[in-house]
A = this chain, B = another copy of it.
Amino acid sequence: MVILGIDPGLANTGWGIVEERRGEVRCRAYGCIETSSGSDLAARLRRIADELTAVVDRYRPQEAAVEGIYFGANVRSAIPTAHARGAALVACSLCGVEVGEYTPMQIKQAVVGTGAADKTQVTYMVRTLLHLDHDPKPDHAADALACAVCHAHLHRTRELSGGAYTQEKGNPYA
């Protein structure tokens, strides 16, 4: 299964494409959509939606996984991220790609083994798990790949359990 991971942000939205086959997860591509603070908000959100649509058209993921917002953030920093997240979710839905949502803690837990992991540990584990010969950069792309890996693990767990382990049970956002 091909999975699109998304780490939404107004200035930087990371994306990563991974392919899961019999428990083996490989990286196909990753990148970061940058929008300029000089543009108006609607144009920036449109750009995020357009670029994600282009990624879906190119790599044809069957499912997407989007990182959630840390509820401990303050309103002023959470709102632009939530705007970008809304744009990303609309883009996925318009492309017909089903979306799983994961908290930052769930992603760290899945990739590093602890919800308290820092950025360096996440990047290191993404590199190791995806057999990359370099650190995926920028951090937003690494986080998007981590989100896709988290979704791949859950997909594999569901497959092995014959569907008994559902996303609803594992995902407080669902």
Q: Interface of A with B (CB < 8 Å)?
A: 40-43, 45-46, 49, 69, 71-76, 78-80, 82-87, 89-94, 98-99, 101, 173-174
Contact = CB atoms under 8 A, between A and B. Distances in A.
A79 B42 CA distance: 17
Contacts of A83: 82-83, 85-86, 89
Nearest to A41: B89
A93 B43 contact: yes
B75 A71 contact: yes
Contacts of A174: 40
Contacts of A43: 93
A86 B45 contact: yes
Copies held by the complex: 2
Given A75-B75, A86-B87, 13 more contacts: A41-B173, A42-B90, A42-B92, A43-B93, A45-B90, A46-B90, A82-B86, A83-B83, A84-B86, A87-B87, A87-B89, A90-B90, A90-B91
Given A78-B82, A86-B82, A90-B90, A101 B71 contact: no
A46 B90 CA distance: 5
B69 A99 contact: no
Contacts of A94: 46, 49
Contact of A45 (B40, B41, B76, B89): B89
Contacts of A91: 90
Contact of A71 (B72, B76, B85, B87): B76
26 contacts: A41-B173, A42-B90, A42-B92, A42-B99, A43-B93, A45-B93, A46-B90, A46-B93, A46-B94, A49-B94, A69-B75, A71-B76, A71-B79, A78-B82, A79-B79, A79-B82, A80-B82, A82-B82, A82-B83, A83-B86, A83-B89, A84-B86, A86-B87, A86-B90, A87-B89, A90-B91
